[in-house]
Structure 1
């Protein structure tokens, strides 16, 4: 999938911009505040129909304007499709493909897959397990509709069980048989989620290790461990039995806390380097190298499972990485045919030295 061009109108700090892209590497360079990341965000809109920065659609309309419009021409190897996104201030967002509006915005997701690597990824290391679970769920759900169904049903069941536990506490009453109604669906859906997460982690780990070794020149050894209550409960091969044991063992605790304290909704990924916590022992450069390896592995899996090569968006990759690691990264993604790449940087000379040496067909846009 190649984005041939992009047009922006009243998007964030850009009144009007038009770009013709290289099918390989494209770089946006300029001082902080000129809107480099905003252009990447516009490209992310073409892919996911939303901002990767978490901004609401209305907040992305340029100040004192009534709408924004984004348009991109996408070449899929056979034909060109035109994606147009319009957000009026007083109406809902409209997404069109070849002048035909989608009935549901969700129907657009997956047409133009993308992966973004940005400074905001650091929350995968620094935040609680919730961020890492979201990463797992997002990755698996994109390629497995059954997983998404099981996840939704499990989350609903946990909410219902928690509501009943709170009701018991409020009314100073407890009915174990009534609470038991939620055990079977928790076990059914939770066990399937556990197995899928375990399978995903096992499949992506060798990719992460390979990419990290290339980016870091083999100086450190990283690993990812999937941690779940279902693994730690009892020595059983059957997750259903593990989950049943967990619920029974923690019944009194759940009653006191008024929420379900154990289950796959507490799962986590442990990131380690040379046997130590990456969060505690890794430098900022090492952590960023790991996150890049994680996202490249994500791209690899999307391509493997969907047959589409995602667009790669690299926001401020020179930050906290030395030039050697950046060169390794750019050369890696170029050699392995990851597809089209978009990069932001503040230093034009540095970008030209790295990118032009690797690919003469790259384009540099000076903002």
Structure 2
């Protein structure tokens, strides 16, 4: 699977652009601020129906324009077994498929395959798997639990349509329950416990299913992650990921109902899988327990950790989908030392990846780094007239 052609209209800083990409390594070069990352984001958007960097779709419309269109042609291999129980409006046999995403200001986003709209945008997720490695990835280590949940939920959503369905349903019920709690906080309003029960039961059931799937996934994810970290770090230290959830407590359901009064006072649901976290740990050899990467890991160790996360994500998607995901490497040569860059290039040269997109503000550096890579390397210059 690879992206053959890409057309952009009023997307971010691209008023009108057309590209034909190679099946292997595509290098996007140009000065800072020229739109290199925006081009990667267009590929990401086309694959996952959303931006990697903007929470609101409308922020991706070119300034002073009323709409954007992203149109691409994917060379798609046999997808008949890629999504059990799911049908697509596009082709379900080997061949080329056209994916189009458009958004008019003030209207709903439209997503089409071969000019036929999806019934639900969620049907598209995972059809064209993609992995993005970006400079701000170390936020996964430094920032809040929400960022880490978002990362792992994103991987699972591409892998497992049933997980995505349960996750979206949980978010919908959670939103409705929180709205109800806010309503009960108004003056002269009484708490309707029977009504809350109608939300609590599905929330608990869905939460249990999501917890079990997340737990299973981490167990499957860890071996690949540790292999990549060991390769990138020359096996200098051990690492692990600890999945933490209140739902693991056998008494969680009774505790959840017990704290209903607290939820009413705070006007939000204070317990559940939306509070889960993933602890990133390092060290732990010679009988010593591992320590939090956030507090004790160096910048180099944190960068290595998140790159290993993304490479393990690549492995999981490749295994689960039967195809190599598109790999987007945004400005990583500026952020890594020579040893880690060399390790990544070694993997490129060994054919570990499928289609790659790399951005760099210094084309001469990238040309030198990729001189001996056996893959077909194509350069695209942006931001010049």
Check whether TM > 0.5. yes
SS where residue 17 of structure 1 aligns? Answer: strand
TM-score (norm 1): 0.84
Aligned equivalent of 2:341:
326
Aligned equivalent of 2:85:
none
Aligned equivalent of 1:362:
377
1:264 maps onto 2:251 in alignment: no
Displacement over 6 Å in runs of 4+: 172-178
SS where residue 5 of structure 2 aligns? Answer: strand
1:162·1:260 contact (CA, 8 Å) conserved in 2? yes
Aligned equivalent of 2:26:
26
- RMSD after superposition: 3.1
SS where residue 262 of structure 1 aligns? Answer: coil
Q: Give the Cα separation in 1 of the matches to 2:66 and 2:267.
A: 47
Aligned equivalent of 1:198:
215
Aligned equivalent of 1:279:
294
1:285·1:320 contact (CA, 8 Å) conserved in 2? no
Q: Give the Cα separation in 2 of the matches to 1:59 and 1:258.
A: 30
Number of residue pairs the alignment of both structures matches: 359
Against the structure 1 CA distance between its residues 191 and 26, is the aligned structure 2 distance closer, same or farther, given a 3 Å change threshold?
Answer: same
1:151 maps onto 2:151 in alignment: no
Q: Structure 2: state its 5+ residue gaps.
A: 78-93, 284-289
Aligned equivalent of 2:359:
344
1:186-223 superposed Cα distances (whole Å, 9 cap, x missing partner):
44332222211111111111111111111222223221
Q: Give the Cα separation in 2 of the matches to 1:350 and 1:331.
A: 16
Alignment of 1:162-201 (within 5 A): 167=184, 184-201=201-218
Q: Give the Cα separation in 2 of the matches to 1:96 and 1:260.
A: 36
Deviation at 1:311, TM superposition (A): 0.5
Aligned equivalent of 2:91:
none
Against the structure 1 CA distance between its residues 154 and 243, is the aligned structure 2 distance closer, same or farther, given a 3 Å change threshold?
Answer: farther
Against the structure 1 CA distance between its residues 153 and 19, is the aligned structure 2 distance closer, same or farther, given a 3 Å change threshold?
Answer: closer
Q: Structure 1: state its 5+ residue gaps.
A: 234-240
Aligned equivalent of 2:133:
117
TM-score (norm 2): 0.80
Deviation at 1:47, TM superposition (A): 1.0
Deviation at 1:255, TM superposition (A): 6.2
2:135·2:335 contact (CA, 8 Å) conserved in 1? no
Aligned equivalent of 1:44:
44
